[in-house]
Amino acid sequence: MTKITSETEFSPQAFRRALGNFATGVTIVTARSPEGEKVGVTASSFNSLSMDPPLVLWSSMKDAKSCAIFESASHFAVNILASDQMDMSNHFARRQEDKFAGIDWEEGIGGAPIFDNCAGRFQCETYDKLDGGDHWIFVGKVIAFDDFGRSPLCFHQGSYSMVFSHPGTTPRAGEPAVKGLAERRMGNHKFFLMLQAVRAYQDHYRPKLETLELSLIESRTLVMMNELTGVNAEGFVAYLSAPLPEVREALLNLTDRGMIVTDGDGYTLTPLGEAKALQCWQLAESHAEEAFDSFSDTQIGNFTDVLRGLIDQ
């Protein structure tokens, strides 16, 4: 347990990491100033607030370039991103001159830009602004919304992820099965079985990953760097399914721990990093071996073919 008291040294990184356990969706919140300047910001702080009146909220860093425009705008729009909109999320999370150049958008209520292909959209009148420490909390009264029902983009522990329906709990060793799972109709459904298999595989793998003392992004970075040399932080964004600030933090941590070095252009593994990358890879391999140990080569070959076939459909 980390207690925050006035005497203890408080680590913002550890606080952020602990907060990262709370999985969220990802939105782009947009607005237009009375003078016509458009802003758009990637935000995971969006949440529902009230049904009557219909209110939503999100919070903006007070020192964000766009914040003053959200403060002066009469309206804002919340675009909930779909799982294939990771590039949009990365784009609007970056400070740049004109974020809307080369992006398809339409003008929404009050001039706030709205995007196609989202999971959902809420167009709001600015209703209230509350002080939230280094953030302003903006409350919006929803005056129009769209529900496209597309699978959403999620954010968890610094990486992007996707939602799959929960396959339910499998009885732990020694626990009686509620009802013979395999005999039930759901229990034999291929999709349901795939979800159960992925969950069981991950459940056994996660505790092993912890022994490496690396975050998920850090271990992925090392494994990636075994294959690629001289890639910079921006280059890693596409490979790691994580936003630039999280990639930069991972690269900084790995540099501090002597596992990677940079010449200013790109990163390479040090001998220590190579050894750790090998350890990550061996852990993944040995876990796969253990998981598939009780199956024959023919069964594993067929299984791999079936998976490839499903992916190519």
209 is an interface residue for ligand FMN by CB under 6 A: no
Strand bridging mode 55-61 / 75-80: unpaired
Closest to 236 (Cα-Cα) out of 248, 226, 254: 248
Query: What is the distance between the alpha carbons of residues 77 and 108, in angstroms, rounded to a whole number?
Result: 8
43 is an interface residue for ligand FMN by CB under 6 A: yes
For ligand FMN, the closer of residues 87 and 290 by Cβ is 87
Among 14, 22, 50, 94, binds ligand FMN (CB under 6 A): 94
64 is an interface residue for ligand FMN by CB under 6 A: yes
Q: How far is the CB of 69 from ligand FMN (least distance, A)?
A: 9
241 is an interface residue for ligand FMN by CB under 6 A: no
Q: Would you state the structure tokens that stand for residue 209, as one six-digit string?
A: 């990953």
HEC per residue, 104-167: CCEECHHHCEECCCCCEEEEEEEEEEEEECCEEEEEEEEEEEEECCCCEEEEECCEEEECCCCC
Among 15, 19, 65, 285, binds ligand FMN (CB under 6 A): 65
Cβ–Cβ under 8 Å, residues 26 and 89 = yes
For ligand FMN, the closer of residues 65 and 189 by Cβ is 65
Q: How far is the CB of 167 from ligand FMN (least distance, A)?
A: 26
Q: How far is the CB of 108 from ligand FMN (least distance, A)?
A: 18
> Which residue in the shown chain puts its C-beta closest to ligand FMN?
45
Tokens 């076939």 appear where? 309
Amino acid identity of residue 42, one-letter, is: T
DSSP classification of residue 186: G
Among 76, 138, 155, 267, binds ligand FMN (CB under 6 A): 155
For ligand FMN, the closer of residues 59 and 219 by Cβ is 59
Among 30, 60, 85, 215, binds ligand FMN (CB under 6 A): 60
61 is an interface residue for ligand FMN by CB under 6 A: yes
Q: How far is the CB of 237 from ligand FMN (least distance, A)?
A: 10
Query: What is the distance between the alpha carbons of residues 30 and 77, in angstroms, rounded to a whole number?
Result: 5
Helices (H), 20-102: 67-72, 86-92
Q: Where on the chain is the footprint of ligand FMN (CB under 6 A)?
A: 26, 41-45, 58-61, 64-66, 89, 93-95, 155, 243
